[in-house]
Structures are given as C-alpha cells and as structure tokens.
C-alpha cells in the first residue's frame, strides 16, 4: 500500500475535484433556476445519493489519511 501511496492520493484528489466541480455545477444550476423563477427545473439530489457519496468517497479518504498519519507518527 505504501508503494502506491502517491498514486492513491492522486486518484482520490482527482475524484474529489470531479465530484466537487459537479456539485458546484448543480448548485449554480439550481440557483439560476430559482433566480429565473422556475424552481420546478431544479435538480434535486436525494439523501440516499448523499449517503452513498459519503460511504464511497469521504470515508475511504479519511481512513487513508488516518492510516498514513498513524504510520508517520510511529516511525
């Protein structure tokens, strides 16, 4: 795992950027729809999708960072 640490962090970074930009795009889209008076055209994300995102993206990244920091402290 440590041999591929840079590659893993690199891919998590790109996944984070990808999801972040798409989230920003959805927010901008929804704000524009509200500003133009057509709230029915908003794209609404359900709570289930947010939980899946948290499970797939946030938790593994936090586990990776925690284990990396723990190994640095031990050595």
Q: What's the pLDDT tens digit per position in 3-55?
A: 778 888 888 889 888 888 888 898 899 999 999 999 999 988 776 777 777 77
> Model-level pTM?
0.52
Mean pLDDT of 46-72: 77
Question: Where along the chain do its domains lie?
Answer: 2-74
**Residue 75 — very low, low, confident or very high, per pLDDT cuts 50/70/90?**
low
Q: Does residue 45 sit in helix, strand or coil?
A: coil
Q: What is the DSSP letter of 29?
A: H
| Structure-model confidence comparison of residues 6 and 74, the more confident one | 6
Strands (E), 1-75: none
Q: What is the DSSP letter of 3?
A: G
């Amino acid at each position: 795992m440590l041999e591929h640490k840079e590659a893993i962090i690199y891919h998590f970074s790109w996944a984070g950027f990808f999801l972040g930009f798409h989230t920003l795009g959805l927010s901008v889209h929804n704000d524009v729809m509200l500003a133009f008076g057509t709230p029915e055209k908003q794209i609404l994300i359900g709570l289930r999708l947010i939980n899946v995102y948290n499970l797939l993206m946030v938790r593994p990244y936090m586990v990776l960072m925690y284990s990396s920091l723990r190994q640095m402290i031990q050595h």
